Amino acid sequence: MLTNPEDNKLVVLAKATRARTGAAQGAALRDLDGRTYAGATVDLPSLQVSALGVCIAMAVASGAKGAEAVVVLGESPAAEADLAALREFAGTGVPGYLGSPNGSVNETITT
């Protein structure tokens, strides 16, 4: 468990979203206004979007100007392209928690 209760909520959201959809990854993001976005990997024949990509897209489409924290849970690590998009959107100094499907955080990154 993370020490910040708000970050723990992101873990719960990411884990639940992934489990509900059966997707490869689940992610959750908290924007600068405290709003949260949860997403799962989209893997259709004509559209592929990572869980983190879904969260960033929803935040941008909602008018968010940055992020406070993000969680990505899955069987594979977050792709470098997704982390680059997070850095572009969130700015510097934003914590990212990467972990396994069961909600265990295995790595912490900072944008």
Query: What is the full DSSP assignment across 42-75?
Result: EEETTEEE-HHHHHHHHHHHTT---EEEEEEEES
Q: Are 13 and 39 in contact (CB under 8 A)?
A: no
At residue 59, the pLDDT reads: 98
Q: Of 45, 41, 46, 47, which Cα lies nearest the Cα of 82?
A: 41
Q: Of 99, 101, 98, which Cα lies nearest the Cα of 109?
A: 98
What CATH number is given for 5-110 in this structure?
A: 3.40.140.10
Query: Over 90: is that where the pLDDT of 3 sits?
Result: no
pLDDT interval class at 27 (50, 70, 90)? very high
Query: How large is the average pLDDT for residues 5-13?
Result: 94
pTM of the model: 0.93
Q: Could you tell me the two tokens for 27?
A: 């992610």
At residue 1, the pLDDT reads: 61
